Amino acid sequence: MLAVSALAGCTATATEANEHASASGGSHAAPAATHALAVSQQSRPPTPNTPKASPPATPAALPVAPPGAAELAQTHTLPSTDDTAFKNLVHDFWLAVTTGNAAYALPAFFPEKAYEQVKAISDPAYDWRTRLWGEFVLDVAAVHPLVGTDAKLLRVIAAAEYAIWIPPGACYNSIGYWHVPGVRVVYERDGVTRSFGITSLISWRGDWYVVHLGAYSRDAAVGIVDEAAEGPGVPGPPGGC
């Protein structure tokens, strides 16, 4: 009985509303249009979610040696140019010169803590920061315009026959290391094979590291490119420390 009364009440209300609309000159078209719009909105298919593009991968340097190796004692092990450590050195170095950001090459650069053990000078840490690393940063900036961002690395040539052990006492050193001069970095750009040199690699605990890129020394704080050439160039010459 309650349900019927409620239904009757609703019907009476709707009828009264229609009569009121007729009496005031209103039209029944508006409620019909509203109903049609509601149906149209309900039947519209949902907008598909557009997949978002993934951000480009950020380049990253690779480790040349385990953490803390630079603080351990030197060894007499001759480094390889075929192992993972050397491949990571090449990766990091090439990433640095193609981006112009020398920081990518930090794992491939002779470590500050190792340099403190090697050099028999008053403040090797200061010399590492202001001269050794500072000159490398300048040299990376000088090489970058030659290779650009799209050059293809072909190979890195280190002449094994030129590798020598530098003993303690030579070159202001308190301990020895292996040294190889005149490494060639061979690349292709715009269909042309070109190259430039890495002046010096030296060893720490059986791994190679870049220590001088453009030159052993210079008269001003400017970047230097070592022996840029078309073709692969010639490794060496032997000597240096």
Q: What is the number of H-type helices and E-type strands within the chain?
A: 6, 6
Q: Which helix (H) or strand (E) holds 124?
A: helix 124-127
pLDDT band at 3 (very low <50, low <70, confident <90, very high): very low
When mean pLDDT is compared across 23-37, 57-71, 158-172, the lowest value belongs to 23-37
The predicted pLDDT at position 51 comes to: 63
Comparing 18-32, 40-54, 84-98, 154-168, which segment has the lowest mean pLDDT?
18-32
Q: State the average pLDDT over residues 129-143.
A: 97
What pLDDT, on the 0 to 100 scale, is given for residue 57?
Answer: 79
Q: Write down how long the chain is.
A: 241
When the pLDDT of each residue in the chain is averaged and rounded to a whole number, the result is 85
Instruction: Examine the pLDDT at 20 and tell me if it is beyond 90.
Output: no
How far apart are the C-alpha atoms of 142 and 103, rounded to whole Å? 15
pTM of the shown model: 0.78
Report the alpha-carbon distance of residue 69 to residue 72 in Å, rounded: 5
Comparison of pLDDT for 22 and 202, the residue scoring more: 202
Strands (E) across the chain are located at: 152-157, 164-166, 177-189, 192-204, 207-212, 226-230
Cα–Cα distance, 42 to 44 (Å, whole number): 6
For 33-72, the pLDDT digits (tens) are: 444 444 444 555 555 566 676 677 789 999 999 999 999 9
Residue pLDDT, tens place only, 174-184: 999 999 999 99
Task: Give me the pLDDT at residue 58, please.
Answer: 85
φ/ψ (deg, to 5) at 232? -75, -15
- Among 8-22, 127-141, 212-226, whose mean pLDDT is lowest? 8-22
Nearest to 206 by CA among 91, 90, 114: 114
pLDDT in tens, 204-231: 999 999 999 999 999 999 999 999 999 9
Q: Where are the domains of the chain?
A: 69-230
